[in-house]
């Protein structure tokens, strides 16, 4: 069987059997196309250790038009796509290089940007008008910070899923995992005001309003629209950081940890499958430990 046919079958396997998101499937597709265009091979058995070594050297030495090298995280994404494909081949008993022989390079520790408490207050209070659009935007800001949602989870939520009385609801995260997220008192108030003002029957929790909405049957906001909304209010609040929906997710996690939550609970609330992913936020607990050290070290009477 040729490589192109196997690639199509692998992508279908990701979508159907593994229930991966369209974005994840597209990322794997892009990474593997990149490899096959470089390798110019036709059969899976042509993938061997020497070929992979040459590919990794190529990735590491590749420069763009401005002379910039590929970031190590980007290089790893290409290699991860190849490993995933090799694992699939092994499951199908198709001869090729073992995925275990393809190691992933160590990425530098990711810096997490989050908002300080005073910046969160300014951001939330920047949506302070009584129009439907402003009430919607305040509810978006409040809910992202209250529940630690990914933007895809936010836009895919329907309003019949929201339980304002119990102040929680379920969302489907990465890999189709279901988790319960929670609505703070201020988020509950913002959602209640917004939903009471709506007159449409669209099932989506967050919808377009105004002239653009009247021209479409599908009112659901897109992830890109939410990104623009966040940036608009960050600028209005005078926040100079590059604020996007995930910044509020980071802020949600760091706020919990800074106030004493254990990392396993935060992992569950974020919907991370691995504790390693959640550990990018431990710089906050390290800061708390520094405060403990300063307060109690060598304080004998």
Active centre residues (catalytic): 150, 174, 246, 249, 272, 281
Q: Write phi, then psi, for 173 (nearest 5 degrees).
A: -95, -155
Read off the tokens for 145: 């910070």
Strands 168-172 and 178-182: antiparallel
Q: How long, in residues, is the chain?
A: 301
178-209 as b/e: b if 16+ CB within 10 A: eeebebeeebbebbebbeeebeeebebbbbbb
Q: Which helix (H) or strand (E) holds 20?
A: none
**Structure tokens that stand for 28 in this block:** 């794997």
Query: Where would I find the beta strands (DSSP E) of the chain?
Result: 168-172, 178-182
Output the CA torsion sign for 218, 147, 177, 166: negative
Q: Give the CA-trace dihedral at 24, 252, 281, 239, to 10 degrees.
A: 90
Question: What residue has token string 């403990």?
Answer: 292
CA-to-CA distance for 222 and 110, rounded, in angstroms? 27
CA distance 275 to 45: 36
Q: What is the DSSP letter of 273?
A: S
Q: Which residue has the tokens 């710089």?
A: 283
Q: Are 175 and 117 in contact (CB under 8 A)?
A: no
């Amino acid at each position: 069987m040729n490589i192109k046919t196997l690639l199509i079958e692998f992508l279908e396997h990701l979508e159907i059997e593994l229930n991966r998101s369209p974005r994840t499937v597209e990322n794997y597709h892009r990474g593997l196309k990149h490899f096959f265009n470089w390798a110019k091979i036709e059969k899976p058995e042509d993938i061997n250790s020497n070929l992979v070594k040459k590919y990794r050297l190529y990735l590491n030495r590749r420069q763009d038009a401005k002379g910039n090298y590929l970031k190590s995280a980007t290089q790893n994404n290409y290699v991860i796509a190849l490993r995933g494909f090799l694992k699939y081949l092994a499951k199908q008993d198709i001869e090729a290089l073992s995925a275990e022989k393809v190691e992933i390079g160590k990425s530098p520790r990711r810096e997490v940007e989050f908002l300080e408490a005073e910046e969160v207050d300014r951001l939330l209070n920047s949506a302070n008008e009584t129009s439907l659009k402003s009430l919607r935007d305040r509810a978006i800001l409040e809910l992202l910070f209250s529940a630690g949602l990914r933007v895809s989870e936010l836009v895919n939520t329907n309003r019949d899923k929201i339980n304002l009385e119990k102040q929680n609801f379920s969302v489907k995260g990465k890999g189709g995992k279901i988790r319960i997220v929670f609505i703070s008192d201020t988020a509950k108030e913002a959602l209640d005001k917004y939903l009471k003002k709506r007159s449409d029957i669209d099932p989506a929790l967050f919808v377009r309003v105004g002239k653009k909405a009247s021209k479409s049957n599908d009112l659901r906001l897109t992830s890109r629209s939410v990104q623009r909304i966040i940036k608009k209010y960050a600028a209005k609040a005078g926040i100079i950081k590059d604020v996007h929906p995930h910044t509020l997710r980071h802020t949600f996690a760091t706020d919990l940890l800074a106030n004493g939550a254990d990392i396993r609970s935060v992992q569950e609330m974020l919907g991370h499958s691995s504790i390693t992913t959640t550990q990018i936020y431990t710089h906050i607990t390290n800061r708390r430990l520094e405060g403990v050290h300063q307060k109690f070290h060598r304080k004998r009477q």
